[in-house]
Amino acid sequence: ISATVSAPQQNQFQADANYTDAANATLPVVDTTANTIYLPNHSFETGMEMTFDASTLDATAVAPTGLTDGSTYYAIRVDKDLIKVASSLSNANAGTAENITAAGTGQAFFQGRTATVTFTHTGGVIDTVTVTDIGSGYGAQPDLTITDSAGSAAAFTVNVGTCVAPP
């Protein structure tokens, strides 16, 4: 028996693009004056751990100056569409953002930490499932897929306390 947890969503952005806000103003996606990044309907709350990726979606992308590809950061939620980026949980909670001095170019994303679970089983029957890390950056509850790897390959997915039988 094996268990896998779905990864949090990728909160993608085009570093060198603009967007139009609710007041019909054109603003940069990466705002170097406000140190904000526009991620429409992002999944982050202040203090959530996230990894920055500027190379997976676009091999020619250049990270915004002040951020490092593959590094862990912490979100500062400005609103449902804007975040600031902090170097530590304490900085995020204090509202201390990284200084972004240039927007960069190309496609990049932030992704939260994947939740982890452990489970015990006896004779192929699952006794307990324990969430050992709730993860971060999920727009909804993650899916947990449990598979019988001993022969039948039967699988079921659990989401928000509900068991969904495979089709």
- Tens digits of per-residue pLDDT, 78-112? 999 999 999 999 999 999 999 999 999 999 999 99
pLDDT at res. 164: 39
Q: Can you read off the two tokens belonging to residue 12?
A: 């993608």
Residue, of 18 and 116, whose pLDDT is higher: 18
Q: What does the pLDDT look like over 118-135, one tens digit per residue?
A: 888 787 677 777 777 878
- Name the percent of the chain lying above pLDDT 90: 62
pLDDT of residue 6: 82
Per residue, the 3-state secondary structure of 20-70, as one string, reads ECCCCCEEECEECCCCEEECCCCCCCCCCEEEEECCCCCCCCECCECCCCC
Is it the case that residue 33 has pLDDT exceeding 80? yes
- pLDDT at res. 159: 56
Q: Which residues contact 123 (CB under 8 A, 6 or more apart)?
A: none
pTM of the model: 0.82
pLDDT, mean of residues 48-58? 96
